[in-house]
């Protein structure tokens, strides 16, 4: 594992940083500052809403934690540890104060574990799987979509888009069990096969979950790319490019593809952000301790600090990716004037 | 007889649509001499654009050139392979389109879009190509040409963008310029300027011009000869002055009457041609104009009149001309 398996995460991080710097120079720092200020405002709102949700959730969260033989003094201590004995505004202030120190408090259900450590183990695993799948889906899906659009109406187009639609429509809770049944069969016949499930024992375990997610997303991106490319290829400026005597390759990539990137970026931005929520079914079936599994479990357990932590992380990711998407727009399309 | 620059012979371009075969261009023949300006006029849908796109071999599915020859200096474009075609397009025959607002790529600078053509056909390096681009912008009279190279199309007005299109088209010294309604989308005040520019530059560059328009007024001041199209066919072709003085085909006569004239008292009625052009899917037997023609006889509805010489340099497809 180590560096190699974290490569997609690292690459995306590097790309984001490079982009912020580049667009800061190109579209101007004023835009950047304005957007960053907006981001802070949005996050403030999100933290407040998540806090209030936790505050008004009925039932005493620490009662369970304390157990059946709970003495009133023990309960009182727990209330104090979780700051539940304070009035709401002081609770919120403590919550915010913790937030800026990257302290999200303790889990209600996992004794002694901080929310930060739960997120800190889950999110990287989910991100690693999610981003790898996204990268592969783009690497395969985008060229297929372009090719299908260029060859619109041919057998390749019809066949690839039908397959893409099927791939996109099969839910993971169907495809994963099918994969696992096949794997069991393979192993019973002594044939080479991938692990059925598991995490942390061997780097090869990542292959199956990434492949499953790639397949779903691949169908989506192939179809999206075909639609947008087809639209762009029918534009007047593509005809102008052809009338200049440019080769088909130049027409498709220099003139059409660049204009088809905007819808693609619009889709990829949120997709990267939601990687931090993890893929629930994939993590469940493959027994992966990612954040998707954890966060759904914490909702069931009314583990409000973990739920709040997840919501905040998602909010940060979405807000940051929106900013990134806007900056990419500014770079891709000179008509977008940022004052 | 000298070889013609362009000779279109019995061109037929059809669109195979779900509702039927659209015979957009049917048996069209005309020619262009070197340096000459030929006007192509006709109502909307008469096949002018399809004819010009056929010459560039830019007809896409479901359309197809199903017959005829497009001889450019003796070479048949209709039969040309892709490699040769890429040399012809932009290099030997260039084209300007109707809508300058959508004809330039919004994400590439104007300089790049000119230089790109130059690099493709004149094999210049980046720097020389950019110099050529600047020179072309100057020649289409865009102020501060060098600075404007780095601007994007949205920073130009419609008229300016059409000038850029002209710059791209003429940048590689083509022998033929096809201008498909180059002024239709522009403000009336700009139209004349752009037209003058095309006229002047094509003379300067010694480029023959195929000027497509539905405006006979434009033809009068610009073209040496005129081809009149109706329902995908050529109904008349003649030198411009002959056409205006002695139009042979009743359709041409009707078109001429539809031009507003300064010598008529204001408020007098324009003579619009009554009726609709026929569907190109189910063309009636006989002359396609017969249903709208004031002179039509029984014969016109049964037999298709061939395009025949009627006078000096004048041809018309009509049994009862003049
Ligand atoms: N892609 C297409 N599919 C089907 N029919 C088409 C297609 N392109 C053009 N046609 C048909 O071909 C005929 C001729 O069209 P064309 O564009 O050449 O007319 P035009 O003379 O240029 O008219 P306008 O003055 O409006 O530009 C029209 O009836 C049109 O419906
Ligand atoms: Mg047209």
Of all residues in chain B, the percent with pLDDT exceeding 70 is 96
Which residue of B48, B51, B214, B279 sits with most ligand 1 atoms within 8 Å of its CB, as the best mutation to test the pocket?
Answer: B48
Instruction: Flag whether residue A258 sits within 8 Å of chain B, measured between CB atoms.
Output: yes
**Which chain B residues touch A258 with a CB distance below 8 Å?**
107-108
Any idea which of A24-28, A194-198, A231-235, A327-331 has the lowest mean pLDDT?
A24-28
**Residue at B151 is within a domain:** no
Q: According to the model, what pLDDT value does residue A339 have? A: 42
What is the three-class DSSP state of B251? helix
Q: Is the pLDDT of residue B137 over 70?
A: yes
pLDDT tens digits, one per residue of A266-314? 999 989 988 888 888 899 999 998 888 888 888 888 788 888 888 888 8
- Evaluate: CB of B17 within 6 angstroms of ligand 1: yes
**Residue at B304 is within a domain:** yes
Number of domains comprising chain B: 1
User: Which site among A245, A246, A331 would you substitute to test the B interface, given the most B Cβ atoms closer than 10 Å to its Cβ?
Assistant: A245
Residue B230: domain span: 4-89+224-260+270-316
In the predicted model, what is the mean pLDDT of residues B51-68?
Answer: 94
Of all residues in chain A, the percent with pLDDT exceeding 70 is 92
In A, minimum Cα distance to B167 occurs at: A244
Instruction: Give DSSP secondary structure letters for A197-212.
Output: S-SSS-GGGGHHHHHH
The shortest C-alpha distance from B322 to chain A (Å) reads: 40
Number of alpha carbons in the 13 Å side-chain half-sphere of residue A1? 12
Q: According to the model, what pLDDT value does residue A4 have? A: 60
**Which chain A residues touch B88 with a CB distance below 8 Å?**
245
pLDDT tens digits, one per residue of B257-288? 877 766 666 655 556 777 888 888 888 888 99
Q: According to the model, what pLDDT value does residue B195 have? A: 92
The ipTM value here is 0.92
Q: Is the pLDDT of residue A250 over 70?
A: yes
Instruction: Give DSSP secondary structure letters for B74-85.
Output: TEEGGG--HHHH
Q: According to the model, what pLDDT value does residue B113 have? A: 97
Q: Is the pLDDT of residue A58 over 80?
A: no
What is the three-class DSSP state of B276? coil
**Residue at B111 is within a domain:** no
pLDDT tens digits, one per residue of B231-242? 999 999 999 999
Where in chain A do CATH 1.10.3720.10 domains reside? 115-300
**Residue at B11 is within a domain:** yes
Q: According to the model, what pLDDT value does residue B271 have? A: 64
Q: Is the pLDDT of residue B1 over 60?
A: no
Count of H-run helices and E-run strands, chain B: 10, 12
Helix ranges, A86-206 (H) = 88-100, 115-150, 155-169, 172-188
Q: Which two tokens stand for residue A7?
A: 């490569």
Q: Read off the pLDDT band of A94 (50, 70, 90).
A: confident
The packing angle between helices A155-169 and A207-233, to 10°, is 130
In the predicted model, what is the mean pLDDT of residues B102-129?
Answer: 95
Sheet holding B20-32, edge to edge: B20-32, B6-17, B63-72, B75-76
**Residue at B295 is within a domain:** yes
Q: According to the model, what pLDDT value does residue A1 have? A: 44
Do you know the residue count of chain B?
A: 322
The shortest C-alpha distance from B217 to chain A (Å) reads: 27
**Residue at B175 is within a domain:** no
Given the candidates 3.40.50.1370, 2.60.40.10, 3.40.50.280, 1.10.3720.10, the CATH classification of the domain at A115-300 is 1.10.3720.10
CATH of the domain at B286: 3.40.50.300
Element (H, E) at B138: helix B126-139
User: Which site among A244, A250, A328, A335 would you substitute to test the B interface, given the most B Cβ atoms closer than 10 Å to its Cβ?
Assistant: A244
**Residue at B176 is within a domain:** no
Helix ranges, A244-279 (H) = 248-250, 258-273
Q: Which of B217, B233, B216, B184 is nearest to B48 (CA)?
A: B233
pLDDT tens digits, one per residue of A124-136? 999 999 999 999 9
Cβ contacts of B167 within 8 Å, gap of 6 or more:
B114, B133, B136, B137, B139, B140, B142
Q: Which two tokens stand for residue A136?
A: 């592969």
State the distance from the centre of ligand 1 to the C-alpha of B166, rounded, in angstroms: 23
A64 or A260, which is more confident? A260
pLDDT tens digits, one per residue of B26-53? 999 999 999 999 999 998 899 999 999 9
Q: Are A313 and A113 in contact (CB under 8 A)?
A: no
**Residue at B66 is within a domain:** yes
pLDDT tens digits, one per residue of A135-183? 999 999 999 999 999 999 899 999 999 999 999 899 999 999 999 999 9
- Evaluate: CB of B15 within 6 angstroms of ligand 1: yes
Q: According to the model, what pLDDT value does residue A60 have? A: 65
Q: According to the model, what pLDDT value does residue B120 have? A: 94
Q: According to the model, what pLDDT value does residue A149 have? A: 96
State the distance from the centre of ligand 2 to the C-alpha of B44, rounded, in angstroms: 7
Q: According to the model, what pLDDT value does residue B110 have? A: 96
Q: How many CB atoms lie within 10 A of CB A276?
A: 25
Q: What is the mean pLDDT of chain A?
A: 85
Q: According to the model, what pLDDT value does residue A106 have? A: 82
pLDDT tens digits, one per residue of B178-225? 999 999 888 888 899 999 999 999 999 899 999 999 888 889 888 999
């Amino acid at each position: 594992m180590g560096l190699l398996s974290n490569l997609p995460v690292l690459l995306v991080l590097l790309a984001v940083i490079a982009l912020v710097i580049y667009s800061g120079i190109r579209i101007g720092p004023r835009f950047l500052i304005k957007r960053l200020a907006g981001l802070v405002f949005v996050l403030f709102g999100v933290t407040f809403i998540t806090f209030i949700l936790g505050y008004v959730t009925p039932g005493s969260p620490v009662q369970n934690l304390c157990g059946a033989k709970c003495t009133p003094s023990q309960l009182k201590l727990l209330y104090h540890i979780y700051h539940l004995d304070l009035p709401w505004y002081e609770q919120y202030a403590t919550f915010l104060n913790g937030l800026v120190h990257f302290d999200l408090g303790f889990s209600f259900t996992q004794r002694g574990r901080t929310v930060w450590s739960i997120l800190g183990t889950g999110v990287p695993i989910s991100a690693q799987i999610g981003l790898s799948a996204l990268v592969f889906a783009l690497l395969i899906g985008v060229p297929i979509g372009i090719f299908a659009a260029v060859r619109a109406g041919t057998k390749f187009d019809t066949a690839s888009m039908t397959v893409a639609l099927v791939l996109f429509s099969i839910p993971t809770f169907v495809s994963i069990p099918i994969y696992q049944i096949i794997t069991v069969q393979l192993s019973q016949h002594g044939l080479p096969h991938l692990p059925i499930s598991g995490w942390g024992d061997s780097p090869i375990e990542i292959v199956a979950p990434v492949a499953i997610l790639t397949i779903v997303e691949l169908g989506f991106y192939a179809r999206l790319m075909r639609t947008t490319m087809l639209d762009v290829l029918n534009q007047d400026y593509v005809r102008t490019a052809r009338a200049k005597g440019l080769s088909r390759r130049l027409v498709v990539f220099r003139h059409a593809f660049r204009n088809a990137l905007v819808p693609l970026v619009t889709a990829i931005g949120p997709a990267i952000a939601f990687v931090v929520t993890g893929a629930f079914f994939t993590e469940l079936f493959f027994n992966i301790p990612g954040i998707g599994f954890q966060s759904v479990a914490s909702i069931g357990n009314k583990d409000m600090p973990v739920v709040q932590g997840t919501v905040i992380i998602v909010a940060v990711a979405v807000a940051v990716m929106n900013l990134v998407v806007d900056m990419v727009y500014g770079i891709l399309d000179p008509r977008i004037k940022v004052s | 007889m000298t070889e013609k620059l362009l000779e279109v012979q019995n061109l037929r371009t059809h669109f195979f649509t779900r509702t039927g075969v659209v015979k957009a261009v049917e048996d069209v023949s005309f020619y262009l001499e070197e340096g000459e300006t030929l006007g192509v006029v006709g109502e909307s849908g008469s096949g002018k654009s399809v004819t010009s796109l056929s010459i560039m071999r830019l007809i896409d599915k479901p359309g197809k050139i199903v017959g005829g020859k497009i001889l450019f200096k003796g070479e048949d474009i209709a039969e040309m392979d892709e490699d040769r075609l890429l040399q012809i397009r932009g290099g030997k025959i260039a084209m300007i389109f109707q809508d300058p607002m959508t004809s330039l790529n919004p994400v590439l600078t104007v300089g790049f879009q000119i230089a790109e053509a130059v690099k493709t056909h004149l094999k210049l390096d980046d720097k020389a190509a950019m110099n050529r681009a600047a020179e072309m912008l100057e020649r289409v009279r865009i102020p501060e040409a060098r600075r404007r190279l780095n601007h994007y199309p949205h920073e130009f007005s419609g008229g300016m963008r059409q000038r850029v299109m002209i710059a791209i088209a003429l940048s590689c010294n083509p022998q033929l310029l096809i201008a498909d309604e180059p002024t239709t989308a522009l403000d009336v005040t700009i139209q004349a300027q752009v037209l003058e520019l095309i006229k002047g530059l094509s003379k300067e560059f010694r480029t023959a011009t195929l000027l497509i328009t539905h405006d006979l007024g434009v033809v009068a001041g610009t073209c040496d000869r005129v081809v009149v199209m109706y329902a995908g066919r050529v109904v008349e072709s003649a030198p411009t002055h002959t056409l205006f003085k002695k139009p042979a085909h009743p359709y041409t006569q009707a078109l001429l009457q539809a031009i507003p004239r300064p010598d008529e008292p204001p408020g007098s009625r324009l003579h619009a041609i009554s009726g609709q052009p026929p569907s190109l899917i189910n063309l009636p037997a006989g002359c396609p104009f017969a249903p709208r023609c004031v002179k039509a006889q029984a014969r016109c509805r049964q037999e298709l009149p061939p395009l025949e010489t009627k006078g000096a340099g004048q041809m018309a497809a009509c049994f009862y001309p003049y």
